[in-house]
Amino acid sequence: MVCELIKDAFAGSENKTIIEYEDKKISFREYLELVEILKKGFCQSGLGPDNSVAVLLKKSYLGFFSFSALSEMGSIQLMMDPNLSEYELEKHLGVFSPDYFITDTAININGKPASYSRLEYGTGIKDAPIFIYKNQSMDGSWKGLCNQKDLKGAVIFFSSGSTDMPKAVIRTQDNILKDAINNIETFSIVPEDKVLCAASFSHVYGFGSGSIPYFASGATVKFINPFTTINKLHNELNNNGYTVFVGLPIHYKLLMDNCEDKLNLRIAFSAGGAISSEIVKNIYAKTGIRINNMYGMSELGGITTLYENISEDNLFSVGTPLSNVQVRLGEKINDEGDEYPLFEIYVKSNTISPGYYDTNKKGITGTSLEDGWFNTNDLGYMTEDGSVYIKSRRQNMINTSGKKINPLEIESVICQFQGIREAVVIGKKDEERGEVPVAFIVAEPSIDKQALLSFCYTKLPMHKIPKEVTVIDELPKTKSGKVKRHDVGRVV
């Protein structure tokens, strides 16, 4: 379904470059040939439309080629984070037990969970082999799901992993197709666009916002390593005529610290984590780029973006809904005297996932909706022009004697104090008040914790003052840079 849209977009332009990586350019004709090579290799291994396959490919261009081949075959794909440790990978394979596992990385998992063994043959393209592992304990548990017509070629993305085991979110071909169309309509994507994508194809952001809509429009995408150096990133953006940059907050931090040149981009996206006001303002002053915050979820794809009518008043919002997406506010959950109101954020879209893969029943647990609306569990507010501001997650709120405290408000104040590099505030159990806020900071060695608390007293009401401040070397984070709040206390 998605591949047909891509083929239609490049019809009559078979020699046009569809993808670039490293110093290579692949025409659409070559892309079709490579997809056929992969399909042949997968079929020779026994992998077919009745099978599930875990995909761990560090090279994003291989991820796109494999997605195309497996989609046409009708196999269900489980997109694995390419930066998983061997321990994390073994855990994922043990829990979800897919029929096959493919990777472009030399990983020793033979005889590990579910008895995966590497086959003698693999597939891939020149200088980029793909190794195929087969689950020798394959019991057919995926077959029922794989045979459902609406799940043919489905892709499973894993939630951010800030908790112990992320949810396995199912995105059907129809979900992916409609999400691509929503992006195309919202951003007026055209074949003349040229995209530099520094987000991994295995992540829903790099996949759904950073590449598929552009391939489906006949545009050219170049993938670069998300951990690229500032020199390579700066050189790419300066010298290759890109109209769109798909980046992460860390990339804009690098550009802010090292780039003084004006950059001629039509759109510059950021997602995958919060981006500071300092970066937003300085990037605009130095390069002329107004960063387009992108808000989305694995269950929904793209939700809102800051795209048109960017001004000083809305630089820190996540913008307005994409085409065919609606956002509304639910219950207000904080006190009147707080800095800003916090409401539950609900979304209605044509791209809502059918649900999650349930390892216990080997099937789908459906997405919970309220009259067609999905509760994101994010908290924020909307302005009269429809701009959405995301301020917290419901599970991150701290309940002190019945008062709901947003930890991000406290973190914002702490980070204003000289010598603070990063801060995170979490709730600690308290017999009298239920929970109290405690702060973990990454700071200069000379930091005075008592002076910091005195500063907080000038900015916050008493119940929001951290009851403890602990200095740590670094905050635990996911590979995309999100703070793993549930792990913060464990690093001490």
pLDDT per position as a tens digit, 432-449:
788 899 999 999 998 999
* 317 close to 293: Cβ distance less than 8 angstroms: yes
Least confident of 148-157, 166-175, 182-191, 475-484: 475-484
User: Residue 403 pLDDT more than 80?
Assistant: no
Higher-pLDDT residue of 19, 272: 19
Domain contains 466 = yes
SS3 for 194? strand
Q: What is the pLDDT of residue 290?
A: 84
Domain contains 92 = yes
Higher-pLDDT residue of 262, 452: 452
User: What pTM, to 2 d.p., does this model score?
Assistant: 0.83
Side chain identity, residue 127: D
SS3 for 205? helix
User: Residue 87 pLDDT more than 80?
Assistant: no
pLDDT band at residue 315 using 50, 70 and 90 as cut-offs? low
User: Residue 374 pLDDT more than 90?
Assistant: yes
* 429 close to 420: Cβ distance less than 8 angstroms: no
User: Residue 137 pLDDT more than 90?
Assistant: no
pLDDT band at residue 98 using 50, 70 and 90 as cut-offs? very high
Q: What is the pLDDT of residue 162?
A: 45
Instruction: Report the C-alpha gap between 461 and 106 in whole angstroms.
Output: 54
Q: Compute the average pLDDT of residues 155-169.
A: 75
Summarised one tens digit per residue, pLDDT across range 336-361 is 666 678 899 999 999 999 999 988 87
Handedness of CA 128, 134, 135, 140 (dihedral sign): positive
Q: Residue ranges of the alpha helices (H) in 143-211?
A: 143-146, 173-187, 204-208
- Those residues with Cβ within 8 angstroms of residue 261's Cβ, 6 or more apart along the chain or in another chain: 234, 238, 287
Q: What is the pLDDT of residue 480?
A: 60
CATH of the domain at 487: 3.30.300.30
Summarised one tens digit per residue, pLDDT across range 288-313 is 888 888 889 999 999 998 765 555 55
Burial class (CB in 10 A: 0-12, 13-18, 19+), 159: middle
* 95 close to 158: Cβ distance less than 8 angstroms: no
Domain boundary among 107, 132, 153: 153
Domain boundary among 153, 171, 196: 153
Domain contains 440 = yes
pLDDT band at residue 113 using 50, 70 and 90 as cut-offs? low
Domain contains 322 = no
Q: What is the pLDDT of residue 361?
A: 76
* 445 close to 418: Cβ distance less than 8 angstroms: no
Domain contains 432 = yes
Domain total in the chain: 2
Which residues are 38's β-sheet partners?
none
CATH of the domain at 104: 3.40.50.980
Domain contains 339 = no
Instruction: Report the C-alpha gap between 157 and 483 in whole angstroms.
Output: 19
User: Residue 268 pLDDT more than 80?
Assistant: yes
pLDDT band at residue 206 using 50, 70 and 90 as cut-offs? very high
- Domain residues for the domain of 469 are 398-491
**Taking Cα atoms as reference points, which of 278, 406, 276, 382 lies closest to residue 333?**
406
Q: What is the pLDDT of residue 288?
A: 85
* Average pLDDT of the residues of the chain: 87
Domain contains 353 = no
Domain boundary among 124, 153, 182: 153
Instruction: Report the C-alpha gap between 136 and 114 in whole angstroms.
Output: 7
Handedness of CA 458, 461, 464, 467 (dihedral sign): positive
Domain contains 382 = no
